[in-house]
A and B are shown apart, each in its own frame.
Chain A
Amino acid sequence: MTIYSLWIFDRHCNCIFDREWTLKSNQASGTTNSKQNEDTAKLIYGMVFSLRSIAQKLSRNESRNEIRTIATGKYRAHILCTATGLWFVILSDLKQEDLSHVLRYIYSEIYVNYVANNWLGPIDFAETEQEKRGQGTRKITNRNFVRGIEQFLSPMVTR
């Protein structure tokens, strides 16, 4: 199993967390909340946004049709969209069919515990109108959260 990166977007279309692993041999390698990844984040957002609206337009009955994975020739994107507008995206190699349980775990055990239940931290990462609609740059920097993600995902980077 190889995981390449994790991205979290909020309902203001901003990337609020990113973690990219660069070396398979070193689980601690790579970047967290890197400024250099801003453009990549925007591209990933755009890809999911477009395919998500296509999926919803093409669903036959009225029930919602959420996109779960997108495969390309080199990698697969796994996506979890919550009703509050949060998106969790993991990029992995093509061997991973479905990481939805991993995404659910990140949401319910790491995000909810260390971000939503952390009352002294923000719940909304856009403080002004100028930071909404994909123009904000605030990130989740909370140590417990970063450590939680690291402990949970690092073993999967190389396994």
Chain B
Amino acid sequence: MSSGSGNVQNGPAVSTSSKKSLRVFSDDIWKNKTAKINAELFTLTYGSIVSQLCTDFQRDFNKVNDQLFAMGYNIGLRLIEDFLARTALPRCDTLVKTSEVISKCAFKIFLNMTPQVSNWSNNKDVFSLILDENPLSDFVELPMDASKELWYSNILCGVLKGAMEMVQLDCDVWFVSDVLRGDQHSEIRVKLNRILKDEIPAGED
């Protein structure tokens, strides 16, 4: 959602194992290698997309949710390349590392926010991202008819789904709560279904 500068890095600069360096590393990319745009312009652009979709689907908010998710998915498929080009990170070995990279690195670089990771399931295949601030929904107040069904920022779920699928993680991503609906905080749930296998050429197996 912002364009890169001409800097090129040599190889992976950090290992994803150390928490602190990942934060410093992302701060550096955000400060030095990311062109900034006006957040309000971004917020308003997203708002106009959602309102147009609500009109197009005659306020059938389930369809709007699906459409936002599909749009996000297509963004994620492409955004992951931008992300990897900027960070030069290798694949993550565990979902714990993946969650750290998503919260500390990806959200930081693209939206300048760092959601908290919490609510791990026992076997570490489901986690939640708690969004304290959400630039997509600044200035927004849901109308009465939308407040039960519309997940306003559902595009984020699609982006996560698409981007993770490209690094061979098949996940389900969905909102469980949203401050716009009067909840305490906004929470995105991420569930790993399986790790996809890399393809091998025909006749090799």
Contact = CB atoms under 8 A, between A and B. Distances in A.
Interface of A: 11-13, 42, 45-46, 49, 62-64, 66, 82-86, 100-101, 104-105, 107-109, 111-112, 116-117, 119, 123-124, 132-135
Given A66-B90, A101-B8, A12 B199 contact: yes
A83 B91 contact: yes
Nearest to A82: B84
A81 to B, nearest CB: 9
Given A101-B8, A111-B81, A135 B202 contact: yes
A45 B4 contact: no
B9 A63 contact: no
Most A C-beta atoms less than 10 A away, residue of B15, B88, B198, B201: B201
Contacts of A64: 90-91
Contacts of B93: 62
B182 interface: no
B125 interface: no
B89 interface: yes
Contacts, number: 77
B166 interface: yes
5 contacts: A101-B10, A104-B10, A105-B8, A134-B199, A134-B202
Interface of B: 4, 6, 8-11, 15, 77-78, 80-82, 84-86, 88-91, 93, 166-168, 198-202
Contacts of A100: 10-11
B201 A49 contact: yes
Given A63-B15, A101-B8, A104-B10, A84 B81 contact: yes
The 7 A-B residue pairs whose C-beta atoms are closest, nearest first, are: A108-B85, A134-B201, A116-B81, A133-B202, A83-B91, A13-B201, A116-B78
Nearest to A115: B81
B85 A112 contact: yes
Contacts of B6: 109
Given A83-B90, A101-B10, A133 B200 contact: yes
